[in-house]
Amino acid sequence: MARTRFAPDRGLTRRMGLTMFLIGLLYVVFVGVLIAAFGEAWPLILVLAGGLFFVQFWFSDRIAAYSMGAREVTPEQAPELHGAVDRLCALADMPKPKVAIADTDVPNAFATGRSQKKSMVCATTGLLRRLERDELEGVLAHELSHVAHRDVAVMTVAAFLGVLAGLITRIALWSGLTRGGRNNNNVLFLLIPLVSAVVYVISFLLTRLLSRYRELSADRTGALLTGRPSALASALTKVSGQMARIPTRDLRQAEPFNAFYFAPALSGDGLSRLFSSHPTLEQRLDRLGRLSQELGRP
């Protein structure tokens, strides 16, 4: 990552590298299976795969920001938010990202961007209304840690394969590419959805494992930057508690973007936690509590 004062996390770096390697290997195998299955249509498969990857990598941050209702704001429009980001960027010695606000009562924040220069940090109006200044800075430091470690870009690329698997399957079946197989039509109709399902499940599990670790990493490095783990813990507790007061319909609308958010809009219990994009609240608070003891802070 680019040099900043955020504490490096070699564990995160190794996990991102391993995830990207496995995702890349899975991607090559998946495209290879499609080419083998559709024979003469291989140029179209390569164009679709390459084109979708290009769009995902270069425009996914804008698509995600638009989907979550983020609008860029100036220092005059949001002086407190800009002021907090300015202080943290000066403390971290990193370029200031774009600053945005999403008009929703769901108390949350997220970061997007494939690099520090192209990054954006967004807070919702619900978050800004509920948090005190030190709590807000704790959340923003967490999000800036994602930008500094570039795990936002890695998560974006890692999530691409699952999207690609579904899209290519639908396009292949709808466009009649399977006609080239004639005698093997029935086999292909069964094979392609099966391969896509396997690819989706594997890529989903890989990104979820990485997502949970990167949240713990951002909690730690963000808290180390501000020197106030208790402020971030307070924000986590407050946000998680306030989620219960948000209408379920609004939470359902936000749930697809959980992997980007500071805290999940909806979190399951029991077995569903294994597939969650975030560690449990108890786990995050425990880690922050131990960090406070290490720093000698209350």
Q: Which positions are catalytic?
A: 143
Please answer whether residues 124 and 257 qualify as being in contact, where contact means their C-beta atoms are separated by less than 8 angstroms: no
Distance separating alpha carbons of residues 27 and 17, to the nearest angstrom:
15
Confirm or deny that 149 is annotated as ligand binding. no
Question: What is the distance of C-alpha 275 from the center of its chain?
Answer: 14
Distance separating alpha carbons of residues 25 and 22, to the nearest angstrom:
5
Full DSSP string of the chain? ----SSPP-HHHHHHHHHHHHHHHHHHHHHHHHHHHHHGGGHHHHHHHHHHHHHHHHHHHHHHHHHHTTEEE--TTT-HHHHHHHHHHHHHHT-PPPEEEEE--SS--EEEE-SSSTT-EEEEEHHHHHH--HHHHHHHHHHHHHHHHHTHHHHHHHHHHHHHHHHHHHHHHHHHTGGGGGGGGHHHHHHHHHHHHHHHHHHHHHHHHHHHHHHHHHHHHHHHHHHT-HHHHHHHHHHHHHHHTTS-HHHHHHHGGGTTTBSS-SS---GGGGGG-SS--HHHHHHHHHHHHHHHT--
Confirm or deny that 215 is annotated as ligand binding. yes
> Residues marked as binding?
142, 146, 215
> Residues marked as binding for Zn(2+)?
142, 146, 215
